[in-house]
Chain A
Amino acid sequence: MAYRAGRERQGAARIAARIVTAIVAGYAILYFVSDALGLALVSAQWTTRADAVLIATNLAFLLAPAVVIWVFAAGSMWRAVGLPFVVAALLMALAGVLQP
Chain B
Amino acid sequence: MKRTFTLSMAWLHSWAGLFFAWLLFGILFTGAIAVFHAEVTYWVTPEMRGQVHDDRDKAIEVGRAYLEEHAPDARLWRLTLPSEREPVVKVYWRDEKGNGTTRRLQPDTGETIQRETRGGGFFIDYHYMINLSRKDIALGPVGLWIVGMAGIVMLVACISGIVVHKRIFRDLFLFRPGASRHRSWLDAHNVLSVLPLPFHIIIVYTGLVTLYWLYVPAGINSLYAGSEDAFRREAISQHYVSLLDAPPPGPPAPMMSLPAINRQAEAQFGAGKTAYLTMRDPNRANAMVEAFRTRADRVTQQVEQIAYRGIDGRQIRIVEHSTATKIQSFVAAIHFVEWGGAVIRWAYFLVGLAAAAMVATGLVVFTAKRETKRGAPPWLRLVQAVNVASVAGLCIACAVFFWAERLTPADLPARAGVPVKFFFLSWLACLAHAALRPPHCAWREQFALAAFLCFAAPMLGGQGWLHLISWDTTRLFFDLTFWIFGAVFAFLFFKVKGTPTRSVHRHELVA
Contacts and interface: CB of A to CB of B under 8 A. Distances in A.
A99 B222 contact: yes
Contacts of A51: 235, 322-325
Given A8-B1, A58-B328, A38 B11 contact: no
Contacts of A8: 1-3
Interface string B146-178: 000100110110011000000000000000000
A52 interface: yes
A55 B324 contact: yes
Interface string A33-54: 0110011001000011111111
Band of interface residues on A: 35 or more
Contacts of B219: 34-35, 38, 49, 52-54, 56-57
Contacts of B7: 2
A65 to B, nearest CB: 4
B222 A95 contact: yes
Contacts of B105: none
B312 interface: no
A3 interface: yes
Contact of B218 (A42, A57, A75): A57
A51 to B, nearest CB: 4
A3 B208 CA distance: 31
User: SS class of chain A's interface: helix, strand, loop or mixed?
Assistant: helix
Contact of B1 (A1, A75, A99): A75
Given A55-B324, A65-B152, A72 B11 contact: yes
Interface stretch (B209-217, B338-346, B410-418): B209-217
Interface in A70-94: 72-75, 80
Given A47-B324, A48-B322, A54-B325, A61 B5 contact: no
B40 to A, nearest CB: 29
B1 A61 contact: no
A40 B205 CA distance: 24
Given A2-B7, A64-B152, A69-B12, A80 B1 contact: yes
Contacts of B234: 49-50
Nearest to A1: B369
Contacts of B221: 35
Interface of A: 1-3, 8, 10, 14-15, 18, 23, 26, 30-32, 34-35, 38-39, 42, 47-58, 60-62, 64-65, 68-69, 72-75, 80, 95, 99
